[in-house]
Amino acid sequence: MKLSCTKENVSRALSLVNGVTGKNSNLPILSNVLFKVDEQKMELIATNLELAIVVSVRAKIEQPGSFTIPARTLADFVNLLSDERIDFELKDNELLVSSGKSTTKIKGTSAEDFPIIPKVPEGAGYSINAEAFKEALSKVVGATAKSEIRPELAGVFCYFNSEQKQLILAATDSYRLAEKKLPLEQGEKEQKIILPSRTAQEITHVLSIEKDENEKNARILISENQIMVNYGNAQIFSRLVEGNYPDYTQIIPQAFNTTITVDTERLVKEMKASGLFTTTGVNSVTLNIKAKEGLIGITSVSSQTGEYSSEINADIDGSDLVVLLNNRYILDGLSNFTSPETNLKIINGDSACVLQPKGDSSYLYIVMPIRQ
């Protein structure tokens, strides 16, 4: 194996695949990246057995071959090189890396021991704007369950509604819910799948780094238990979560007794301030809605740090009420709001609190109240 390429190209490719590699005591080779070089192209491949990323890299190929190298070591070394051109050559189970006056040898492992990346068989194909898909995933993935006790809740629900040309993404850990709707550019089959949260995070990561000046859309192929996302020079392969996602739409209220419009930035600051005086793990903050006065009273109490009390102005339509919420969950939702104002919609102190960016009905975030 012998080839040369630019530092920029190989560094970008390594930044795409490195998120999948990691320590595995049973299979140490999973911390390596596979160089797969044929006469036409070079690919860098990484996998953790559940998820795989394949990135094509432009290179001048002199001799095909394949070899695996510790991904982190190679990435750190490449980033330290000052010359733009990098030469790679395989010699005696070592990868010779040369750039300018710098030459080093990195020990690796035969490609024969690297897991085979499964190809997604023929399935349903879709096309979606890559930037919109990335932003949508980032808005919902934080609401997935961190525990694998219920595997389906540790994933992102994806509903490809081909009839309405819409993709609906949703995630919930039973305490909060995030839902985002976005246009589906192309897709002929209605389908519902559960995307592992790790896969959703890696797709977001790849779409943040990878750019394709000639194509704005990402292509998605879904088979019975696998998904492939293709954009630019990168392909992501992943298993899907088995099982059925719960009908989360049942907990979305359709009518409200009180609707509040409040400055988003001010609400964020108040949640951060009140969070300094909450009990760790519970993070409870009391919202006292005073409709006639147009005020939201915000209070929190901690036996360790003290008490907090404040009021903020708001446009309030409806009745007075008091609701106890987890301020960390509220902050997680507001971090995805770009509108200057936020709408809070509440039935009563015992029901779900719906937060939405004002003027954007495509995204909603729900926080369940803390039962006293």
Task: Please report the pLDDT score of residue 83 as a whole number.
Answer: 87
CA neighbor of 317 nearest in space, from 291, 351, 349: 291
Task: Please report the pLDDT score of residue 82 as a whole number.
Answer: 87
pLDDT band at 207 (very low <50, low <70, confident <90, very high): very high
pLDDT band at 187 (very low <50, low <70, confident <90, very high): confident
Task: Check: CB of residue 143 under 8 Å from CB of residue 153.
Answer: no
pLDDT digits (tens, 9 = 90+) for 143-162: 999 988 899 999 999 999 98
pLDDT band at 122 (very low <50, low <70, confident <90, very high): confident
Task: Check: CB of residue 205 under 8 Å from CB of residue 98.
Answer: no
Does domain 252-367 correspond to CATH entry 3.10.150.10? yes
Q: Which residue has the tokens 């995630």?
A: 171
Task: Please report the pLDDT score of residue 372 as a whole number.
Answer: 66
The structural architecture, per CATH, of the domain 2-113 is: Roll (3.10)
State in words which class domain 124-248 has.
Answer: alpha beta
Q: Which residue ranges make up each domain of the chain? A: 2-113, 124-248, 252-367
pLDDT band at 175 (very low <50, low <70, confident <90, very high): very high
Sheet holding 85-91, edge to edge: 60-63, 2-6, 85-91, 94-99, 102-107
Say whether 252-367 and 124-248 share the same fold: yes
Percent of all residues in the chain with a pLDDT value above 70, rounded to a whole number:
99
Task: Please report the pLDDT score of residue 361 as a whole number.
Answer: 93
pTM (two decimals) = 0.92
pLDDT digits (tens, 9 = 90+) for 94-116: 999 999 888 899 999 999 989 98
Contacts with 230 (C-beta within 8 Å, 6 or more apart), sequence order = 218, 219, 220, 221, 236
pLDDT digits (tens, 9 = 90+) for 296-351: 999 999 988 899 999 999 999 999 999 999 999 999 999 999 999 999 999 999 99
What phi and psi, each to the nearest 5 degrees, are found at residue 362? -80, -10
Task: Please report the pLDDT score of residue 356 as a whole number.
Answer: 97
